[in-house]
Amino acid sequence: MAMNISYSYTLVLILLFFITLPSISGAGSGLGASFIFGDSLVDAGNNNYFQTLSKANSPPNGIDFKASGGNPTGRYTNGRTIGDLVGEFLGQPKYAVPFLAPNATGKAILNGVNYASGGGGIMNQTGRIFVNRLSMDIQIDYFNITRKQLDNLLGPSKAKDYLRKESIFSITVGSNDFLNNYLLPVLSIGTRISESPDAFINDLITHLRSQLTRLYALDARKFVVGNVGPIGCIPYQKTINQLSEDQCVDLANTLAVQYNGRLKILVKELNDKLPGSTFVLANVYALVMEVITNYRKYGFVTASKACCGNGGQYQGIIPCGPQSTLCTDRYKHVFWDPYHPSEAANLIVAKQLVDGDSRYITPMNLRQLRDL
């Protein structure tokens, strides 16, 4: 009888261990954690927590974001960002919490943390027109804090395994380094006189190489790095340059293509040089250009006019806010505001990144990266 009681007790302990294991480690059948770095394309609200001119915390931003009941959260779109959607598609139980949010503590960080910041860039001086923003260097400083918190939560060995095996590190950055640095004469006239496009892009790649290597040293192993989209086609650029609907700003797109070529080489270099790492390149430029060019095929009525904004032919001058003109068919606009895609466009991009082919993501898609 004593043997049976002892056996039953042991069996119960074993069952309890396996039942509670996912909640202890954060692991599950889907993605363990998503650590998101970048700019306003993926910012989930960090800019709400400091003084900056770059904010999306007023209506109608977030009007279609069900998790907040349609209230603004600091996301620069009407609903979910690409980072939110990728996490959902990969089985992440909750959205990565903004690092600066009060609830970014304890077990909440086991789902991942979002460090992205509207106006942020690879270079520290990028986005200074907004007064404050988090550059990539600062974002990685913040991840170093999270890294130590994970050690305390899981223990050093489990934390290392969790980061290396069950987490994806997403980097969406570079657009502001052109739009709000090199291409902004009021701030960068000295740089543009002293630096050719080649020299500036070389600086970007040098800094990004150092930043990605630093994340690797902090136990990041699975990376997805997005290239710069067709920034010459956003409503703001088309409005200020008085272009027709089928035109884009050549200089901005040429710089993006040039940078993207160097980024492709960098991703291959890091895959070869950093043992155990997997760097995946997301061809955001080709994917977004496909949607812009063939927008009717995807159910949109315009790929030029912002749904929420004011000023000019494409409502591309004044950012989205309470006084903005708001379209009634939000899911038929490629662009939500003068700079950012709508949730409908984000859905197309996210689906291709998760399950798409080598046209848009190489050497594997994000579902394959998760399961690696």
The upper half-sphere exposure of residue 145, i.e. CA atoms within 13 Å in the direction of its Cβ, equals 13
Rounded average pLDDT over 62-70? 97
Token pair recorded at residue 136: 């990539």
**In this predicted structure, what is the pLDDT of residue 126?**
95
The upper half-sphere exposure of residue 332, i.e. CA atoms within 13 Å in the direction of its Cβ, equals 8
To the nearest whole number, what is the mean pLDDT of the chain? 91
332 in a domain, yes or no? no
21 in a domain, yes or no? no
Task: Name the residue range of residue 184's domain.
Answer: 29-230+250-292
**In this predicted structure, what is the pLDDT of residue 289?**
98
Which residues are CB-contacts of 369 (< 8 A; sequence separation ≥ 6)?
Answer: 168, 222, 224, 278, 280
**Each residue of 154-165: pLDDT tens digit?**
999 999 999 999
* CATH number of 43's domain: 3.40.50
Percentage of the residues of the chain whose pLDDT score is greater than 70: 90
Quote the CA–CA distance of 54 and 47 in Å, as a whole number. Answer: 7
Rounded average pLDDT over 221-228? 98
**In this predicted structure, what is the pLDDT of residue 30?**
76
Q: Which residues pair with 341 in a beta bridge?
A: 335
Token pair recorded at residue 144: 């170093």
Q: Is the pLDDT of residue 103 over 70?
A: yes
Reported confidence tier of residue 185, pLDDT bands at 50, 70, 90: confident
**Each residue of 236-256: pLDDT tens digit?**
999 999 999 999 999 999 999
Token pair recorded at residue 366: 């994000």
328 in a domain, yes or no? no
Q: How does DSSP assign 88-157, residue by residue?
A: HHTT-SSPPEETTSTT-SGGGGGGEEE---TT--SSTTTTGGGS----HHHHHHHHHHHHHHHHHHH-HH
47 in a domain, yes or no? yes
155 in a domain, yes or no? yes
Reported confidence tier of residue 336, pLDDT bands at 50, 70, 90: very high
Between 191 and 169, name the one with better pLDDT.
Answer: 169
Stated as kind and residue range, the H or E segment containing 171 is strand 167-172
Rounded average pLDDT over 201-206? 98
**Each residue of 271-328: pLDDT tens digit?**
999 999 999 999 999 999 999 999 999 999 999 999 999 989 999 999 999 999 999 9
When divided into structural domains, the chain yields a total of 1
Reported confidence tier of residue 25, pLDDT bands at 50, 70, 90: very low
250: exposed, middle or buried (Cβ count in 10 Å: 0-12, 13-18, 19+):
exposed
**In this predicted structure, what is the pLDDT of residue 187?**
54
Reported confidence tier of residue 193, pLDDT bands at 50, 70, 90: low
Q: What single letter denotes the amino acid at residue 23?
A: S
Rounded average pLDDT over 171-190? 84
**In this predicted structure, what is the pLDDT of residue 371?**
96
102 in a domain, yes or no? yes
1 in a domain, yes or no? no
Quote the CA–CA distance of 172 and 194 in Å, as a whole number. Answer: 27
Q: Is the pLDDT of residue 367 over 90?
A: yes
Q: Which of 40-49, 85-94, 122-131, 182-191 has the lowest mean pLDDT?
A: 182-191
169 in a domain, yes or no? yes
Q: Which of 141-145, 228-232, 315-319 has the lowest mean pLDDT?
A: 315-319
Contact in structure between 266 and 209 (CB atoms under 8 Å): yes
What are the residue numbers of the active site? Answer: 40, 337, 340
Are β-strands 308-309 and 325-326 bridged in parallel, bridged antiparallel, or unpaired? antiparallel
